[in-house]
């Protein structure tokens, strides 16, 4: 019970920190709102939400990095897009200096709209979230099935696995990852609706954008945990007969 209370409080505090790290920039002339999301304690934003004529998108720093490329022989990076504390950076030519455009500047909206078009297959935040939850549920079920078969084999043949204690140690992280994915699935419909109708406040300047950002970070953590468990299971899959 004590552990449950601790986890609940940690989740509440984490959500509060996430809201405190979101800053909305209104662009009335363009009928657009940009919400810049910065994780608690971080110096740079890790995502920006766009709500405007193009739709509603959550763009992460990882997606922006995927657009970069090199020439194969130097350290220069081309087509750099990045979220900076000062604004949004587009640097297509590494030989020319480029300065971030302030998120409050209308020119920033055009730069982000252009970037959305460059992210091939990019979906609006609700569709992207639903697809990701479905994919992670499938992956979680697969990893769970593998873990259970290995655990059953290890129980039926003591000493069969190279490191049984390591196998057992993956149980907790796997359960937490599965719980995070299932939680995201449960809150998707109700949470999306509440966030869409909630009025912005000083603590939460863009409830809808903040909802998808927080849920995206939770899924990031679950996905990373599933990857670690999968890697461990793969390393322990050969019986030590």
Instruction: Map the chain to HEC letters.
Output: CHHHHHHHHHHHHHHHHHHHCEEEEEEHHHCEEEEEECCCCCCCCCEEEEEECCEEEEEEHHHHHCCCECCCCCCCCECEEEEECCEEEEECCCCCCCCCECCCCHHHHHHHHHHHHHCCCCCCHHHHHHHHHHHHHHHHHHHHHHHHHHHHHHHHCCCCCCCHHHHHHCHHHHHHHHHHHHHHHHHHHHHHHHHHHCCCCCCCCCHHHHHHHHHHHHHHHHHHHHHHHHHHHHHCCCCCC
Mean of pLDDT values over 186-206? 85
pLDDT band for position 59 (50/70/90)? very high
Highest mean pLDDT out of 50-64, 162-176, 195-209? 50-64
Asked whether the predicted pLDDT for residue 18 surpasses 70, the reply is no
Residue identified by tokens 């869409």 is 196
Q: What is the pTM of this model?
A: 0.82
* Residue 129 binned pLDDT confidence (cut-offs 50, 70, 90): very high
- Residue 14's pLDDT is 40
Q: Which of 117-121, 133-137, 199-203 has the lowest mean pLDDT?
A: 199-203
55: pLDDT strictly greater than 60: yes
- What mean pLDDT do residues 72-84 have? 84
pLDDT at 154: 75
**7 pLDDT higher than 60:** no
């Amino acid at each position: 019970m004590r552990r449950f209370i601790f986890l609940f409080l940690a989740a509440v505090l984490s959500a509060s920190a996430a809201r405190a790290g979101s800053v909305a920039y209104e662009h009335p002339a363009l009928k657009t709102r940009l919400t810049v999301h910065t994780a608690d304690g971080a110096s740079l934003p890790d995502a920006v939400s766009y709500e405007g004529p193009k739709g509603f998108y959550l763009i992460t720093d990882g997606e922006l990095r995927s657009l970069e490329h090199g020439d194969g022989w130097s350290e220069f990076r081309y087509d750099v897009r990045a979220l900076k504390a000062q604004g949004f950076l587009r640097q297509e030519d590494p030989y020319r200096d480029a300065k971030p455009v302030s998120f409050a500047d209308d020119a920033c909206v055009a730069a982000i709209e252009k970037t959305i078009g460059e992210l091939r297959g990019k979906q609006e935040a609700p569709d992207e979230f639903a697809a990701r939850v479905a994919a992670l549920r499938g992956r979680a079920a697969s990893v769970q099935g593998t873990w259970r078969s290995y655990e059953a084999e290890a129980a039926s043949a003591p000493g069969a696995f190279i490191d049984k204690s390591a196998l057992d140690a993956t149980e907790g992280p796997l359960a937490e990852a599965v719980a995070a994915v299932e939680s995201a699935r449960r809150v998707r419909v109700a949470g999306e609706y509440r966030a869409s109708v909630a009025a912005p406040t000083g603590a939460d300047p863009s409830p809808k954008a903040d909802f998808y950002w927080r849920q995206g970070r939770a899924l990031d953590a679950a996905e990373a945990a599933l990857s670690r468990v999968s890697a461990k299971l793969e390393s322990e899959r050969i019986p030590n007969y």
